Structure 1
């Protein structure tokens, strides 16, 4: 790793800032006063879901370390008279179906989801990324076990009240006057400042910053089969923007792309460089695959780029991330 990268890692590292046992990292910036103030931003009675569809069209695709969610029906309309047709076949399950039908008119539809926790709109937990044998706050990599991660996992965030606060949209694509950024385009800290200034919004301590690159709608337009090259060419934040995130005391950051940062190696030759600086050194959670389109259109229309944002993760014990349905309220 380069000397420049090492110097930045040392500068932004928050280990011990909130105590040696802290597992929330930059979410500590969202104080009770900050949360109460954020709730007052919901003045227009408008809400926006920022989640992509949770289905087989996920950018994760059908193969690899992560795969698209698989949705299976376990009871459907064709099973309305299942108990009568089974006639006792199948043991307990059949008897359960028969009993359901014999006790009244109620029938049910039921289903399953099989998925990696990070194959749709999601948060990366602080335990998700690490290097040199240590996670955030010096937690050893051995805290990750086959039964779950015992420190810095997503359930810690869920148990603490989830993620909610003042959200700020920085619409980089609209600022550049394009539908989407070009593949591997890098968004610098200077550009984030320029976008905020142009939009007339001030970044506050404890903000949850959302960055729109236009990646998601372009991927959805191309489709699963044709979007692979686009996925690998995702634009995103420059790794040096970690200093901007640190200096502004950002609570969390989320983007409409697959990895927040570009997916190909950075100019220092490393991949997921920003992940290492944010998750491991800063204790800053990353949100990926957010759909910011409808919200961005509304913000451009009324000139208001701040809102109350809630994005609670599931309380998955020892989980390295969680699917979410973020909601922005204006």
Structure 2
């Protein structure tokens, strides 16, 4: 059966990447993976003041309506006939789409003098005051895929990788072999560094910040045919880049995967429970919010075994 895009692709596969190609047979194959019916959450709670990548705006939850506020403002949503004092609460949630567990949209990262991104989008033609119009969050496909966890610290016998520790292609291949799993075409590969094992202790987290895949690891993932990959860190790739090239590129992995090949990147994915139970293969489900103009989507992804 030939692969067909999801309806959200709007007929132009350049704007959704390889993850937009998934046949009904491939979806059904992924759904047949679970054998136990156990569900693991791959996200941690978001909260006001939560740790975030340094340049992002803060995540905040503020109340917009409360019972006391409604009374004080003299607001009667249901009119004057309310002898039981029925009230309600509603909040504003503000913050970047890149708060906590999330996926980068194709328009998240740009490069070059024209600030272009995957699929032919560029800032001059496809960026307005309400965000990108090509490759934005509203074009993100659903992810119903075989998931593979590669537990690097578990393989190395440590709780977590050290700050700025790179993970290379040979290590990923060795971890996969040690775990007895293969990485195949269409998979979502999640790489554990152990960073979120210290959540939300920012001092402990700082000892393990920005470890992750280097450029060789990214090339290995491409060769296996993955459609997305993610990690438990805020940057996915190791920072600072040990192989920035010339001219220097501070994020060569994002460039290779997201900008050049449309491979989606997940960040802030909680992998501690899967690792503790030595679960390395599962049904991965993540359903992005379709919000026009966003450069990604917060997620509450799950693994089902």
Q: Same fold (TM over 0.5)?
A: yes
> Which residues in structure 2 correspond to 1:241-260 (within 5 Å)?
241-260=217-236
**Correspondence for 2:276:** 297
**CA RMSD of superposed structures (Å):** 2.3
Going from structure 1 to structure 2, the CA distance change for 1:229 and 1:306 (only over 3 Å counts) comes to closer
Judge conservation of contact 2:49–2:60 (CA < 8 Å) in 1. Answer: no
Q: Which structure 2 residues correspond to residues 73-92 of structure 1 after superposition, within 5 A?
A: 73-76=63-66, 79=67, 85-86=71-72, 90=73
Looking at secondary structure, tell me which structure has more helix per residue. 1
State the shift of 1:216 in Å: 1.4
Structure-1 separation of matches of 2:134 and 2:83 = 47
Q: Specify every segment of 5 or more residues in structure 1 that has no aligned partner in the other structure, as ranges.
A: 1-18
Which of 30, 39, 45 aligns to 2:37? It is 45
Say which SS state the counterpart of residue 292 (structure 2) adopts.
coil
Separation (CA, whole Å) in 1 of partners of 2:42 and 2:235: 16
Aligned to 2:135: 152
**1:78-131 deviations in whole A, cap 9, x for unaligned?**
x26x65x53xxx4xxx33347277165543232221111112211011111121
- Within the candidate set 278, 291, 296, 1:316 is matched to 291
Q: CA deviation at 1:240?
A: 2.2
Length-normalised TM-score, structure 2: 0.86
Q: In structure 1, what is the Cα distance between the partners aligned to 2:296 and 2:121?
A: 17
Which runs of 5 or more structure 2 residues have no equivalent in the other structure? 1-10
Q: Output the TM-score relative to the length of structure 1.
A: 0.80
The DSSP-based 3-state class of the residue aligned with 2:234 is coil
- Would the alpha carbon gap of residues 277 and 100 (structure 1) be closer, same or farther in structure 2, given more than 3 Å must change? farther
Counterparts in 2 of 1:1-330, with a 5 A limit? 22-60=14-52, 65-76=55-66, 79=67, 85-86=71-72, 90=73, 94-97=74-77, 99=79, 102=82, 104=84, 106-132=86-112, 133=114, 134-142=116-124, 143-157=126-140, 160=141, 162-218=142-198, 220=199, 222-223=201-202, 226=203, 229-230=206-207, 233-268=209-244, 269-298=248-277, 300=278, 304-330=279-305
Aligned with 2:201: secondary structure?
helix
In 2, the alpha carbon distance for the partners of 1:124 and 1:103 equals 49
